[in-house]
Amino acid sequence: MNQNTRVRTSTRGRRSRATPEQQTGVHAGPRYGILGGTFDPPHLGHLALAQEVYVRMALDRVWFVPTREPPHKAGKLISAAADRLAMVERAIAADARFAVSTVELERPGPSYTIDTLGELRARWGADTRMVLILGWDMLEYLPQWHNAAGVVDRSDGIAAVHRPGVVADESDLTRLDEQRPGVREKLTLIQAPQLAISGTEIRARVAQMMPVRYLTPDAVAAYIETRGLYQSADQSKGKKR
């Protein structure tokens, strides 16, 4: 494993699980979920989503991948990469099922998923099964992604998680497959717990001196307070100053 790919594990919650390949006797490498985002900050919604996909997709680990320069947030202010990485590390520290990869933070320029999948494949090997984890809102936007065809081709699976108030129907799936052929055959829809929590909401509450406990892990809340993050209105709204 690349020395810059960080893993946070604990002995809590470890269990032996047979993957579908193991159950059928077919040799296969590890099954990894890839959950990208700005994580500004990471919150309980992220953790619940990751847990649900981990269980339902029989994964060996979910990798949180903080972005360096998210293309869909060009021109917006986001917290320093070091702070966002530190918060992710604190958020997942007690859960052996989760880990963090710094692959996008190491790479200059916009954080394109196609590049990330290529680098992770090179690090993890051809036998690794890579499942891209997306919210349904991001999946709908997938046809407009940089090299969307390559993203679909390089993913071994795509787990799309419904967001609060957003439920896909047959017409949505048909339209998506017409816009980006090949998506549907790799797609698994996941009904995860509907926690309507957002980084925008947490940043706004911090700026208003409101508590964020029970919205984000205590270790993350403590880090936000210690570092003085999100205390200005501009920073809480993600605006450049």
pTM: 0.83
Within a domain: 58 = yes
Residue 41, preceding peptide bond in cis (omega within 30° of 0) = yes
Q: How confident is the model at residue 142 (pLDDT cuts 50, 70, 90)?
A: confident
Gap between the terminal Cα atoms of the chain: 39
Q: How many helices (H) and strands (E) does the chain have?
A: 12, 6
> Which of 32, 41, 14 lies closest to 207 in space, CA to CA?
41
**What's the total number of domains in the chain?**
1
- Radius of gyration for the chain, computed over Cα atoms and rounded to the nearest angstrom: 18
- Among 139-148, 219-228, 230-239, the least confident range: 230-239
Within a domain: 51 = yes
Look at residue 239 in the predicted model and tell me its pLDDT.
55
Percent of the chain with pLDDT over 70: 80
Within a domain: 204 = no
For 35, phi then psi, to 5°, come to -115, 100
**Residue 165 structural domain:** 20-195
Within a domain: 10 = no
Within a domain: 114 = yes
Q: How confident is the model at residue 172 (pLDDT cuts 50, 70, 90)?
A: confident
**Domain of residue 69, CATH code:** 3.40.50.620
Within a domain: 173 = yes
Within a domain: 236 = no
Q: How confident is the model at residue 20 (pLDDT cuts 50, 70, 90)?
A: very low
Q: Give residue 133's Cα distance to chain centre.
A: 6
Within a domain: 15 = no
> Which of 131, 125, 138 lies closest to 159 in space, CA to CA?
131
